[in-house]
Amino acid sequence: MPDHRNSKRSGVLRPGNVPIDPNSQVAAKLKAFYSAVEQEPIPDMFLDLLEQLDRAEKVGKS
């Protein structure tokens, strides 16, 4: 009976037929998602809130 514990889990291979670790696949997808979100513009409503916070801090210090 064959031992299936060492068989490829993901079925995805790197160049050279080396299996890709499922954790590295998740990490790569999370990095790609973060990078995409990082490129999105900051919403105007959020920028307005940050400006209000800056003004409130300046008033509190004086």
> Tokens representing 27?
């990490």
Q: Residue 12 gets which letter from DSSP?
A: -
Instruction: Determine the pLDDT at residue 7.
Output: 47
Overall number of domains in the chain:
1
Q: Quick one: DSSP state of residue 58?
A: H
pTM of the prediction?
0.44
Place of tokens 């973060």: 34
Query: How far is residue 57's CA from residue 48's CA, in Å, rounded to a whole number?
Result: 14
Query: Which range is least confidently modeled, 8-17, 30-39, 40-49, 50-59?
Result: 8-17
- Length of the chain in residues, anyone? 62
Alpha carbons 55 and 57: distance in angstroms, whole number: 5
- As a whole-number percent, the residues of the chain with pLDDT over 70 amount to 68
Name the residue range of residue 21's domain.
13-61
* In a domain? residue 20: yes
In a domain, 8, yes or no: no
Q: What is the mean pLDDT of residues 10-34?
A: 78
